[in-house]
Chain A
Amino acid sequence: MKGTNLFLKIFTILVFLFLYSPIIVMVVFSFNESKSIGVFTNFSLRWYEKVINNPEVWKALFNSFWVGAVVTIVSLILGLMMAMAVTRYNFSGKSILESLILIPVIIPEIAEALSLLIMYIFLNIPLGPVTVIIGHVAFCISYVTIVMRARMAGYDRSIEEAARTLGANEFQTFFKITLPTLYPAILAAGLLAFTLSFDDLIKTLFTTGPGFKTLPLVVWSSAARGGVSPELNSLSSFALSISFLFAVFRLRVERRLER
């Protein structure tokens, strides 16, 4: 028993080491003065200077943010409609509908992205930010619907009936009662949609037009072209700190919602 416990403990520590060391090495070497990615010479911010002085990075960051915002709003509206229909009403073909919602989550993104590209080309739709946004929304709707449906499961509708009895019309009830009560569900789903869009690579890669790049695309093209470099280490660490801050924010919001 004692031996097994010790083994499990050491094993778990090693797994945590395995999870953290690549990220730590990447961040540490982003502060390296020399061009080496294996020997740390001196602390320096020169690679960060290079990244910060690169207008392409700022433009991509800006693109990622506004694409993410538009994707979040559109998929929230569409996902909320779907989730409300599924949780509130019974209708024929509901189980088919539920599978139709799940499929975008299951299908490998590469097949999804290339198929969408083929259709864009087939229909002569010019590629650019709009085609990227459409591509993101197409899979975000499903995630939004799934998260909302889970959070709406225990929703008490008697409060809506009370509002209606007191004379509120359908729209007033929706905007004054339903929407505020669903706020936690909407926030959780919205944060997920934004993260999915912000981090997306494959869909963006195949549906973007010339010159329109998001942050993951900048990282990707430089990693695919030149492999590991100190400059890319610092760009990745910079991108990492954004995802990280965002995740902390998401966790705090979710914690507060659960209270």
Chain B
Amino acid sequence: MGFSDTLLKHIRRNVTVKVSLLLIPPLLFLAIWFYAPFFIVGLYSFDMINIQREIVFKPSLIHYLRVLSWTGAMKIFLRSLYFAGVTVILCLLIGYPVAYYISFKMKKYKDLFIVLFIIPFWVSFLLRTYAMMSILDERSFLNVLLTSLKLIDSPIRIMYTDTAVILVMVYDYLVMMVLPLYANLEKLDKTLLEAAYTLGASPVKTFLKITLPLSMPGIMAGFLLVFIPAVGEFVIPELVGGPNNYMVGNLIYEFFMGARHWWIGSALSMLFIVFILSLVITYVRKMGERGLAF
């Protein structure tokens, strides 16, 4: 019977101590290696770290003002929104019919087809992007095939354009739209559709009045899951876009690594993060807590 025994007994009885013992290591890790970096970026953005890397307590909004008044940055920000928006819409237009067909029209091989749909996404994101490059290239098999079939006169020059960036984003993120949609459509009570038919509604009307409104949660989840990674995309514009197709991620990268202007880069990062978080918070407010448990 010693001090350690008493201590152990105390730990055993006291839930607060137990919870703290469980929480401190992971939270400390996150605090230091995930949250502290953003704190330092925050300090840079408010001009509170000088060029000698010393902290100075003279906060200023100068870098934010420079970012916000600079039309070039705004243009790139709007372009990112536009790219991500078009990607979401295309994913929805492509993904909805597929999810609908597999969920409503297939009987036997549903699971098989969903797995077949997911298999290409087992390949890592980078390799998928590279695979798309291998058919978008001017010298690619696709271009050779289309020219030899006389469907096109000269190879399609699509690499390093807006279209290439959006096309690859759709290819990479389509699964993020289809899976929540499919899960949602599977849960949808199909007797409602039968009721509508019995009462004389046309298929189109049934779809517009019942299926579509009831699948809104799936659409919203898919929207968020595609839009957020798309708007923050860095790799795709870097690989298949040119300087004219840069997005916010590339701009932040340029400031940190290219121009080495960490202050402006930090202000841009902070604004971008605030934008993403407010988007998610709005979504959670609208859909409730369960909205995030996809």
B 5-46 binary contact with A (CB < 8 Å = 1; else 0): 000000010011011001101110110011111101100100
CB distance from B50 to the nearest CB of A (A): 12
In the assembled complex, 6 residue pairs joining A and B whose CB atoms fall closer than 8 Å, in A order, are A22-B134, A23-B120, A108-B233, A202-B235, A216-B124, A216-B126
Q: Are A108 and B229 in contact (CB under 8 A)?
A: yes
Query: In the complex, how many angstroms separate the beta carbon of B257 from the nearest chain A beta carbon?
Result: 8
Q: Tell me if B174 is interfacial: C-beta within 8 Å of chain A.
A: yes
Assess the B228–A108 pair: CB atoms within 8 A.
yes
User: Given that A91-B19, A111-B269 are contacting pairs, would A5 and B105 also be in contact in the complex, using a CB cutoff of 8 Å?
Assistant: yes
Distance of A106 Cα from B231 Cα, bound (Å): 12
Contact of A8 among B105, B139, B234, B266 (CB under 8 A): B105
A175 → chain B closest CB, angstroms = 16
Main secondary structure on chain A at its contact with chain B? helix
**A26 partner, pick from B35, B134, B143, B253, beta carbons under 8 A:** B134
Q: Kindly report which residue of chain B lies nearest to residue A85, judged by CB atoms.
A: B22
A-contacting 9-mer, from B71-79, B209-217, B270-278:
B270-278
Please report the C-alpha to C-alpha distance between residue A46 and residue B239 in the assembled complex, in whole angstroms.
Answer: 26
Whether the pair A243, B26 counts as a contact (CB closer than 8 A) is no
Of the candidate stretches B62-70, B94-102, B180-188, the one touching chain A is B94-102
Given contacts A38-B139, A108-B231, contact A15 B98 (CB under 8 A): yes
Question: Which B residues are in CB contact (< 8 Å) with A57?
Answer: none
Q: Is the CB of B139 within 8 A of A22?
A: no
Partner of A247, one of B105, B122, B203, B276: B122
Task: Let me know if A36 and B139 touch, CB within 8 A.
Answer: yes
Query: Are B130 and A37 in contact, with the CB atoms below 8 A?
Result: no
Number of interface residues of B (CB under 8 A): 84
What A residues does B174 contact at CB under 8 A?
15, 19
Partner of B203 from the list A1, A38, A251 (CB cut-off 8 Å) is: A1
Complex-state Cα separation, A141 to B269, whole angstroms: 23
Q: Does B123 contact A (CB under 8 A)?
A: yes
> What are the 5 A-B residue pairs with the smallest beta carbon separation, nearest first?
A108-B232, A247-B122, A199-B124, A115-B37, A38-B144
In this assembly, does A182 line the interface, its C-beta being within 8 Å of a C-beta of chain B?
no
Task: Flag if B133 contacts A227 (CB, 8 Å).
Answer: yes
Bound-complex Cα distance A100 to B123 (A):
29
Please pick, from A15, A117, A170, A201, the residue contacting B256 in the complex, using a CB distance under 8 A. A117
Segment from A65-73, A154-162, A186-194, A232-240 that makes contact with B: A232-240
In the complex, are the beta carbons of A107 and B276 less than 8 A apart?
yes
Q: Do B128 and A119 touch (CB < 8 A)?
A: no
Contact A29 B134 (CB under 8 A): yes
> Taking CB as reference atom, which chain A residue is nearest B178?
A15
The verdict on A138 contacting chain B, using a C-beta distance below 8 Å, is: yes
Q: Enumerate A193-222 residues with CB–CB distance to B below 8 Å.
A: 198-199, 201-202, 216, 219-220
**Contacts of B223-266 to chain A: CB distance below 8 A:** 228-229, 231-235, 238-239, 249, 252-253, 256-257, 262, 265-266
> Does B23 lie within 8 Å of A16, measured CB to CB?
no
Please pick, from B26, B115, B266, the residue contacting A78 in the complex, using a CB distance under 8 A.
Answer: B26
Q: Quick one: closest B residue to A9, CB to CB?
A: B101
B273 & A107 in contact (Cβ 8 Å cutoff): yes
B130 touches A81 (CB 8 A): no
**Do B142 and A25 touch (CB < 8 A)?**
yes
- Are B19 and A228 touching (Cβ within 8 A)? no
| Besides the known contacts A26-B135, A138-B29, 7 further A-B residue pairs in the complex with CB atoms under 8 A apart | A23-B123, A79-B26, A107-B277, A139-B34, A141-B26, A141-B29, A233-B134
Per-position contact with B for A125-168: 1 when CB-CB < 8 Å, else 0?
00000000011011101000100001000000000000000000
**Quick one: which of B44, B137, B265 contacts A227, CB cutoff 8 A?**
B137
Contact A134 B134 (CB under 8 A): no
Q: Could you tell me if A119 and B40 are in contact, using CB atoms closer than 8 angstroms?
A: yes
CB neighbours (8 Å) of B127 from chain A are 219, 236, 239-240, 243
Chain B, Cβ-Cβ closest to A241: B123
Residues of A within 8 A of B35 (CB): 100
- Assess whether A23 is in contact with B128, with CB atoms less than 8 Å apart: yes
- Asked whether, in the complex, the Cβ of A81 is within 8 Å of the Cβ of B22, the reply is yes
CA distance A107 to B44 in the complex (A): 19
Residues of B near A170 (CB, < 8 A) are: 12
CB-contacts of B80-99 with A (<8 A) = 94, 97-98
